[in-house]
Amino acid sequence: MNKTISKDELKNMGFLQNQAVEIIRQAKYYMVQQGYPYYNNKRLGRVPCHAVEYIIGVSLEEGDTNG
């Protein structure tokens, strides 16, 4: 899975504004810790889906009925 996600897409999934912003912030921090300094940029608003999945603990794949 090589897809990215933004705060607006998280809001469309049902997260509140502040929750979506915080998830993106935590995902960016996670990516920097994984060795990707590209995500250490306050203007960047998209992160890989796998980073968000790691933060929230739920799969984001379409058609997934387990979460």
pLDDT for the residue numbered 62:
67
Q: For residue 5, what are the contacts with CB-CB under 8 A and spacing of at least 6?
A: 46, 47, 48, 49, 52, 60
Domain boundaries, the chain: 4-56
- Please compute the mean of the pLDDT values over residues 43-47 and round it to a whole number: 96
Q: 9-40: per-residue pLDDT in tens?
A: 999 999 999 999 999 999 999 999 999 999 99
SS3 67: coil
How does the average pLDDT of the chain come out, rounded? 90
Residue 25 vs residue 2, higher pLDDT: 25
